[in-house]
Structure 1
Amino acid sequence: MTPESIDPRALRDAFGAFLTGVTVVSTRDCADRPIGFTANSFTSVSLDPPLLLVCLAKTSRNYATMTGAKHFAVNVLSESQKEVSNTFARPVEDRFAAVEWSEGRAGSPILANVAAWFECAMEKMVDAGDHVILMGRIMAFENSGRNGLGYARGGYFTPILASRAVSAAAESNIELGAVLERDGDVLLLGDQTLSLPGCDVKEGSPTEILQDYLEGLTGLKVSIGFLYSVYEDKSEGKQHIVYRAFASEGDPAAGRFLEPKTLTAEQFKTSSTADIIARFALESSIGNFGVYFGDETVGTVRPVAAKVAQP
């Protein structure tokens, strides 16, 4: 591959493999009105002097305001603030009417209940292709101790959710499973009767065990994504923990990649697998994923993932 042949969409998807936090960058416009937008292109730069940076698309509606601002704030969203992120990612005129906030020392809007916030003076701006890098010198900050909201591969995740689920199931007979996807299709085992790939686990990191199993099974490169279902099958006496996972290109050594929406419940080995695939087909169509908690017949879906719009 040469620089000239790089597909921007494919490159963006590859960048999306990197897990980040989610922030709302805020300032005031020339009329002293608060403005803000969701961004995950944020990083620390230096402790001495205290510097950070965020990146902003030149096509952003906030470009003129941000590049003209003397001060701005970076609000690191907590894991309970998915809706705040969505609010500041949408083209809503008065985004601040939907959230609780206060003024920082320099007047920048500081959101309530965030994991941390930083108020900065604009240090410098660096042109960077179709973006501009805004470097800020930190004037004040606060760390609340809350867990941050995560983002990867086009969706939100809450890191503590998966660890709690695995800990709760630690004393049970656990079977790990995967909705192993590629280009919207899911890997399923069997010919007449279909099932998800899965393996038993006794000790060790569940995600590492599952990744090793899937790569050995398929011969493909596999990355483990987010928790997808946690349920007890009372008839088997097993606790099932199912993750989303992503496969590389190539023909799998075992199983077939099938389009979920073309399958019927009667084709699956268990009703719980049929439910997982049906839910995955629905959630894929709307781009909003969740985690199921319950048993093989009754449970609830906790929404924790949705696509983020560009600022």
Structure 2
Amino acid sequence: MTASLSAPEAVDVTSEEFRRVLGHYPTGVTVVTARDPDGGPVGMTIGSFTSISLEPALVGFFVARTSSTFPAIRDFGSFCVNVVADGQHELCTRFAGPAAARFQWLDWSEAPSGSPVIEDAVAWIDCATERVDDAGDHLLVVGRVTALHAEPRRRPLLFFRGGLGAFAPLPGTDRGGAR
């Protein structure tokens, strides 16, 4: 015997309820970096990074229209997505905090584009900005991947229901970065 499910009634979707429900879906934590007009490093925490296409290799992220950091990233014309490792949780708040302190005492090198690659990141993906599209109160930034690297022994930091945590694969499912 199968149970009959009735559709729930439609309700007004408030931003608070939307955030609460979508908070049940874990997201990876990334820091998107570039250079400002003076050549200095800039970056911001992003939790909405995604793969878009294999051919051509495209990735994307969403940024609030109100971001004071994104104009420098947009104007640089390229960016690097740094996938934050589970032991780097302080980077999440650092790159969401005051811009002047974001790179202070932080070890980093340069991606081929010149964008900062944060030391000990799980992976980095260097991109040329392909386009920026309107998406409600955010912008969708699409990048064409030009270079990338991963450290398969590191684990990513995850954001889930308002908190940060680590990922542990189920027994027998860890392919160790293999294809």
Report the TM-score range of the alignment, normalised by the length of the smaller protein. Answer: 0.7 to 0.9
Q: Which runs of 5+ in 1 are unaligned?
A: 168-311
When normalised by structure 1's length, the TM-score is: 0.50
Aligned runs of 1:61-80 on 2, under 5 Å? Answer: 61-80=68-87
> How big is the alpha-carbon RMSD for the aligned residues of Structure 1 and Structure 2?
1.6
Per-residue CA deviation, residues 86-120 of structure 1 (Å, 9 max, x unaligned), is: 21121241311232101111111110101110000
Q: Which residue in the other structure is 1:9 paired with?
A: 16
Q: Which runs of 5+ in 2 are unaligned?
A: 1-9, 172-179
Q: Which residue in the other structure is 2:50 paired with?
A: 43
3-state SS, counterpart of residue 100 of structure 2: coil
* Counterpart Cα distance in 1 of 2:70 and 2:59: 18
Question: Structure 1 residue 82 and structure 2 residue 89: aligned?
Answer: yes
Does the CA contact (< 8 Å) of 1:53 and 1:135 recur in 2? yes
* Counterpart Cα distance in 2 of 1:85 and 1:98: 15
Q: CA deviation at 1:149?
A: 0.8
Q: Which residue in the other structure is 1:152 paired with?
A: 160
* Counterpart Cα distance in 2 of 1:67 and 1:121: 10
Q: Which residue in the other structure is 1:26 paired with?
A: 33
Structure 2 residue identity aligned to 1:126: D
Deviating above 6 A after TM superposition, structure 1's stretches of 4 or more consecutive aligned residues are none
3-state SS, counterpart of residue 92 of structure 2: helix
Structure 1 residue identity aligned to 2:19: R
Structure 1 residue identity aligned to 2:30: T
Per-residue CA deviation, residues 271-298 of structure 1 (Å, 9 max, x unaligned), is: xxxxxxxxxxxxxxxxxxxxxxxxxxxx
Does the CA contact (< 8 Å) of 2:94 and 2:101 recur in 1? no
3-state SS, counterpart of residue 89 of structure 1: coil
Q: CA deviation at 1:64?
A: 1.8
State how many pairs are aligned. Answer: 161
Per-residue CA deviation, residues 4-29 of structure 1 (Å, 9 max, x unaligned), is: x3211111121211111100001111
Of the two, which has the highest radius of gyration? 1
When normalised by structure 2's length, the TM-score is: 0.84
Per-residue CA deviation, residues 212-260 of structure 1 (Å, 9 max, x unaligned), is: xxxxxxxxxxxxxxxxxxxxxxxxxxxxxxxxxxxxxxxxxxxxxxxxx
Does the CA contact (< 8 Å) of 1:84 and 1:99 recur in 2? no
Does the CA contact (< 8 Å) of 1:119 and 1:139 recur in 2? yes
Answer 1 or 2: which has greater helix percent: 1
Question: Structure 1 residue 100 and structure 2 residue 107: aligned?
Answer: yes
Q: Structure 1 pair 19/54, CA: closer, same or farther in 2 (3 Å)?
A: same
Tell me: higher relative CO, structure 1 or 2? Use CA pairs within 8 A at least 6 residues apart. 2
